[in-house]
Each structure stands twice: as structure tokens, then as C-alpha cells.
Structure 1
């Protein structure tokens, strides 16, 4: 069938208009911002097995603490403070010792005679959930044997949006379903070995460059912002963490970068809104090292434990 030049030109104009948004007011515009989500939900364990009982015991202990003791318990000693990459404070009066945190998602980072476990992306490429579990259990067993309480892993951030990302290999690849299954299996393995797993880095931590203030060769005032719309956030980036929550992960680490122009460790929409309210996460959120840039605001936004925060100390 013959097509006139006028008809072709008309279709071309319509196509160009659609692509550029011209004459199309029905297409929503995404503005990179995070709406507030307050207050932080009151922890109860959400009726999950083991969690509700733990919350009841914790509430009874916390009721006996002073403000100083609460701050000490939720604050970190810092970078390689003692035997681990970080340690929390303690409450000797109530017999509560500090916790030992150690990298990494691939095995023990600091320590003699430590095993080098296969990368997360290598395990994911096997599509073997049993292997992912066994690797997690082996890592957890080694951490526990060296006195570690919290293993800072496994990883699903970065998810791998940028192929050249420096830490893509730590996680399970860029498919959110595959990454989520691997993350959940690793969490179960680590925690069955008697160590708390810390899934990281929440969320959209997709590049190393400019991920943190002052960390790059060229100083920057603010970390980079990963701008993600609501659908991509739920269907892609948050999906693996939802699997980790369902697997019973005890801790989640918030990331260095900003998300929709709000820092990951003080983004109430992501911590209070999605992680705690939507996904029902009952554990604690901890900051990455030097990832906290405010004081009370971070606690209100959903952060539970801070590790090494010179910015906050500077402001106090």
C-alpha cells in the first residue's frame, strides 16, 4: 500500500512529540526527591517467630537504661576500634558487652588464616541456592570462630546498573530476583552459624566515584545522588532486600550515597517508609562508616546504630 509523504511526515512529527514530551501532558514527570515518612514505627517484632519475644526482652532491659547507656549501646567505636573493623559500646552495669563487627561479604577481612570465599556473582552464576546457603554458613562459622558477632554482608548494593562498578562482583548480579534469592540464602546460612548478617548497601549504591563526601581525589561537598523513581525502587533495587527481610536478616546497612537527594542513612522514605513499614523489617539499621551526616535527624528517619560519625560529632 502506498504511503504519502505527508502521512510519513505527520507520523514523524507525532513520534518526535511523544519522545520529547511535547503536546503530551499525560506523561508524569519524575522529580528526584524523597517525601518524608514519619514517625519511625515502634518496634514490636511484627509477630514474626522469635522476634516478638526478643522485643519483649529488649524492652524490659532498655527500660532500666540511662540515656548515656542507650547512646553508648547504639554508637560505634569506629574504624578498627578494637579487634574488629568496628565495635559497639557496652553496658557493664547490666551485663551487656559490646558487639564485634567485621567485614566482609566474602569472608573475614582482617585476621590471620582467613578463608577467601568465592565472589557473590560467582555463586549466583551457578543458580544453586544450596551452594549459596553453604557458602553463607561457612563464612558465618569462620566469623563466629574468630569472635565476630555481626558479619557485614551479604551484598545486593550495588545491584550492577553500571557494568564497570568496582564492587559489582560482591553481589548476585543485576537481576533483582536472582540477587534476592542469593541474598536470602546467604543470610540464612550466616545466621544459622550463629552470627548476625548485615545486608548492604541499602540502597542504589551503584558506583564508588563520588559515593562519599571528601573521599575522591577531587573533594566534593555532597555525595552523589542516585535518582530512582518509585516503580524502579520497588521492582528492582528494593526487591533483593525484601527477600533478605523475609529470610530474617538481623541488620541492614544504609549506604554512603544520596537517594533522590537525601542521604541513605537519613532518608525517612527509604528507612521508615519502605524498609520498616512496607517490608516489615524488625531488625536494626546501621550506618556505613562515616555515612551519617546528622544527629537526631538520622534517628528519627530510622537509623538505629551509627558507626564512626565525625560529621555528627562536629555538629554537637
Structure 2
């Protein structure tokens, strides 16, 4: 059981995270309705995986393992524990250890003797596929050397629509093709070192302010028509999927009025069906806002799953997307 001092620290940390949003909650409570013609249509069920030849062997192994697991073991591996940024649960009885995703896009977080690699925007400015790939190799080697299973990058989910957007520096530039090529080269370099790349943030994560749900307000909504989605915002993710990324992280914000972490059209429809993605779809930290809806919409893993506000009932804003 956690000590009283530990609980106080967690409460203070949660307050610090939520305070900026709570202060401005009144401004967003009366958010404008969606413009005419913008919607996230239902898309169920989640497409069955394993049909891609490149993932066939992995799915056979996964099916064999999952068929031997209890319900508790299955649930345990779908969420993080918050330790060391975000360990997943384990199922040691069937030989499945804890997995360790680690931030950030330019370095291994919360440890020592690490390298601060060039930011994505600096890397993109070189216009060099070779340097993009070599940076990915170096990142993968360092993450592997630190015992990390997932590299939480590259970031291609912000195209720089807001010049002062908080994640612009993680990405490679405002050109979708540049983002796509740089992201793909990074994925190849990282995964060749035995580390899983996590392409993020899916999708249209164009600003930091108002980005998160909290008990008093919704996140902002990026309203995008179908042509713009495919020709601009989805393009870098499509190339990342083609490059074989093993994981994709959803954004905090809404798209067309529906939270990215439980947007069935985005996850089941565009990502898993249209693009044929076969890997893991995970949330960003504290981004899962309900229970059943994201599972039905195609979400595979909630990160970290048990820290700070995720276990406070009031934080679980129910927004069933139908």
C-alpha cells in the first residue's frame, strides 16, 4: 500500500497537471459546435489482424500465447503501471515479460548517461535521408542499450499549423512529404536495432493548449475534411505504416468532435482498415477518457493506465462515440 506521503505527492502532481486547464475551463465549456459536414462516423468492428504477410508469423505466435492466458493476464498487458515512465503489465506464466516504453523523441528519459540527439525539426532541415536514417540507428542503439522496448517516436502528428505549437520541434517540418520520409527513415533505423518505434501523435495534434480532457472541459477538436485528412495529415502516418512501425500513439485532442483515443473512424477505419496497420495502438499518458468506447474503437493499450488521474472516476469523462 502506498504511503500517505506518496499519495500526497501524486495528488499534488495531478493538481499541477490539471491546473492550467482548470483555470481556463470556462472558456472551453461553451465550445462551438462542429461545422456542417464534419463528423467521425462509426466504424465497427475493429478489422481482424494477421492478414498482412509481414505480420503473419507474429500473429500466429500471439494467437498461440493469448489462447493460454487468463482474462486477468489479458487485461494486465493492456495498460501501463507508471513505473519508469510506463512499464506495461506482464504475464510471466506464459512467458510474456514487462515491456518498457520510454520517452522522449530525442533521448531516453529518467536515466543517466544518455545522449541528447538533434531535434526532429533540426533533422528535417538537413533534407538528408541518410542522416535521418543514421539518427534513427543511433537512437535505437541507445534505447536498446538502456533496456527499452519502445521508442516513443518519431513524431509526425503536428504539421506546424500553429507556429508556436508545442510539438512542432519534435516533428520534421510542415511539409507532409518531408515528415513522411523522415519518419519512415527513423522507423527503419530504430527498429533494425530491435526497438519498437511508436509513430505519434495520431492525429492533427496541432497545439498544446486545451489539448487534454479533464473533469471540467473537453479537449479542442481538429476539424478536418476527408481530402485534407488524406492529402496532408494522414500522409506521414501512411508512410510510417508502410515502413513497418510497430506501434502508433494517439493524440489527446478530438478530431471532428471525437477523442482520438476512442475515434473508431480514425483507428478502425483509416488506420487499421485503410492503411492495414497491424501493430499496437496506444494512448498518450492520461489520454484514455472512458472504458468501453476506446476498446471497441480499436485502442489496444492504455498508457500508463494507473497513475495520477486515470483512477479517479470523475476524470473518466464518458463520451461514447456512436
TM-score, L = length of structure 1: 0.85
Find out whether 1:60 has 2:64 as its counterpart: yes
What runs of 5+ residues in structure 1 fail to find an aligned partner?
A: 1-28
* Cα deviation digits, residues 45-78 of structure 1 (max 9, x gap): 4222xx1011011101100111110000111102
Residue 4 of structure 2 corresponds to which residue in structure 1? none
Matches of 1:312 and 1:303 in 2, distance apart?
Answer: 18
Q: How does 1:36-75 map to 2 (within 5 A)?
A: 36-48=42-54, 51-75=55-79
- Secondary structure of the equivalent of 2:53? coil
* Larger RCO (CA within 8 A; separation ≥ 6): 2
Matches of 1:260 and 1:312 in 2, distance apart?
Answer: 27
CA shift, 1:239, in A, is 0.3
CA shift, 1:220, in A, is 4.6
Residue 11 of structure 1 corresponds to which residue in structure 2? none
* Cα deviation digits, residues 111-159 of structure 1 (max 9, x gap): 1011011111111111111110100110110011011000100100212
**What's the C-alpha RMSD, in Å, of the aligned pairs?**
1.6
* Cα deviation digits, residues 224-278 of structure 1 (max 9, x gap): 1111111111110010000000000000000100111100010000000000100
Question: CA 1:312 to 1:43, structure 2 compared with 1: closer, same or farther past 3 Å?
Answer: farther
What runs of 5+ residues in structure 2 fail to find an aligned partner?
A: 1-34
Residue 229 of structure 1 corresponds to which residue in structure 2? 225
**Mapped contact 2:40–2:256 kept (Cα < 8 A):** yes
Residue 160 of structure 1 corresponds to which residue in structure 2? 160
CA shift, 1:312, in A, is 6.5
Q: How does 1:86-125 map to 2 (within 5 A)?
A: 86-125=86-125
Matches of 1:312 and 1:155 in 2, distance apart?
Answer: 28
Q: How does 1:166-177 map to 2 (within 5 A)?
A: 166-177=166-177
- Secondary structure of the equivalent of 2:108? coil
- Secondary structure of the equivalent of 1:199? strand
**Mapped contact 1:294–1:311 kept (Cα < 8 A):** no
TM-score, L = length of structure 2: 0.83
Question: CA 1:192 to 1:238, structure 2 compared with 1: closer, same or farther past 3 Å?
Answer: same
Residue 286 of structure 2 corresponds to which residue in structure 1? 290
Larger radius of gyration: 1
- Structure 1 segments (4+ residues) deviating >2 Å: 29-32, 308-316
**Mapped contact 1:295–1:312 kept (Cα < 8 A):** no
- Secondary structure of the equivalent of 1:200? strand
Question: CA 1:185 to 1:307, structure 2 compared with 1: closer, same or farther past 3 Å?
Answer: same
Find out whether 1:306 has 2:299 as its counterpart: no
Residue 34 of structure 1 corresponds to which residue in structure 2? 40
